[in-house]
Amino acid sequence: MKDSTQHTANAGKFRDPLKTAAGEDRARVALTRPETLWFNTGTLCNIECSNCYIESSPENDRLVYLTADEVVGYLDQIAERGWPIREIAFTGGEPFMNPDIIAMLRDALQRGFEVLVLTNAMRPMMRPRVQAGLAQLAAEFGQHLTLRVSLDHWRRDFHDKERGAGSFDKTLRGMRWLKETGLQMTVAGRSLWHEDEAETRAGFAELFMAEDFAIDALNPAQTVIFPEMDLTVEVPEITTACWGILGKTPDSVMCASSRMVVKRKGAAPSVVACTLLPYDTAFDLGATLAEAEADVPLNHPHCAKFCVLGGASCSA
């Protein structure tokens, strides 16, 4: 990933974890309510999107596949640390490319967690072995398993511009299969096309109605519209004074409630502060959940634009 501090729009900013460029105290966030533990199953993906924040592709293996045993180790640590985790979430890359994904989902579901999987619902999910595994999980665990499908826009041409010709139709086929199999779905879209949120949600609502998808386009938990993460745009640094100015609290930021496990190529798994910053070692908190209880300085443009100012969250 490119170093955001090299972009001229934010020159001189986001360098010191304690102080902003203006010398003010940088805001920090404590892990006050751990609700979601994410697992990045690997950065390999069956497609290469034109604006993927993690640069997933058929060749990018900077984050290699986690194994089911490694996931179980962290599930054990949740119990050992007494974290009140509600949700286990899996992202990638494309999680259904990981050969252990069905076993990982089962391990989490059997422990009573809500489980979320981020997927493009394309060919990796539609392989017969994966379909059989998902159908069995649906039969056993019902609504405790949710697949959040990446559908960048409700219009075919806009979605395909991001993900490649034909991808919209392939994703819809996957979504139709999920509906027929009884698996719970939500959608993740993007605010790329200069329409306001109401227009975006209205378009998704029409699509969901036409397809008879049980997804509420007006509910941000079921249809997530992510703000764009453009590192070339200037954003303010978040100081301790910003909470009062913005009328927010540190508890409202994603890193107050979640952590993510990654496995960098050639290294053991470790825990990072944010799903958006898997490569940045400044946000690597250590190998264990105990180490991951440390505070997180908001020392990246994404912290400001996506989480504090955008108010977005990757969790359900």
User: What confidence tens digit (pLDDT) does each residue in 65-92 have?
Assistant: 999 999 999 999 999 999 999 999 999 9
Task: Tell me whether residue 40 is in a domain.
Answer: yes
What pLDDT sits at residue 198?
Answer: 94
Q: Which amino acid, 262?
A: V
Task: Tell me whether residue 2 is in a domain.
Answer: no
Task: Tell me whether residue 20 is in a domain.
Answer: no
Task: Tell me whether residue 18 is in a domain.
Answer: no
Task: Tell me whether residue 27 is in a domain.
Answer: no
Q: How many domains does the chain have?
A: 1
Helix axes of 167-181 and 128-141: crossing angle, nearest 10 degrees: 40
**pLDDT grade for 312, boundaries at 50, 70 and 90:** low
Average confidence (pLDDT) over 196-207? 95
User: What confidence tens digit (pLDDT) does each residue in 20-75 have?
Assistant: 999 999 999 999 999 999 999 999 898 787 777 788 888 889 999 999 999 999 99
User: What confidence tens digit (pLDDT) does each residue in 212-253 have?
Assistant: 999 999 999 999 998 776 667 788 899 999 999 988 999 999
- The domain spanning residue 87 has which CATH number? 3.20.20.70
| Residue 169 scores a pLDDT above 60 | yes
For 196-264, the three-class secondary structure string (H helix, E strand, C coil) is CHHHHHHHHHHHHHHHCCCCCCCCCCCEEEECCCCCCCCCCCCECCHHHHHCCCHHHCHHHCEEEEECE
Task: Tell me whether residue 11 is in a domain.
Answer: no
Task: Tell me whether residue 246 is in a domain.
Answer: yes
Task: Tell me whether residue 19 is in a domain.
Answer: no
> In 3D, which of 257, 53, 89, 104 has the Cα closest to residue 186?
89
Range of the domain at 83: 34-308
User: What confidence tens digit (pLDDT) does each residue in 273-308 have?
Assistant: 999 899 999 999 999 999 999 999 999 988 888 788
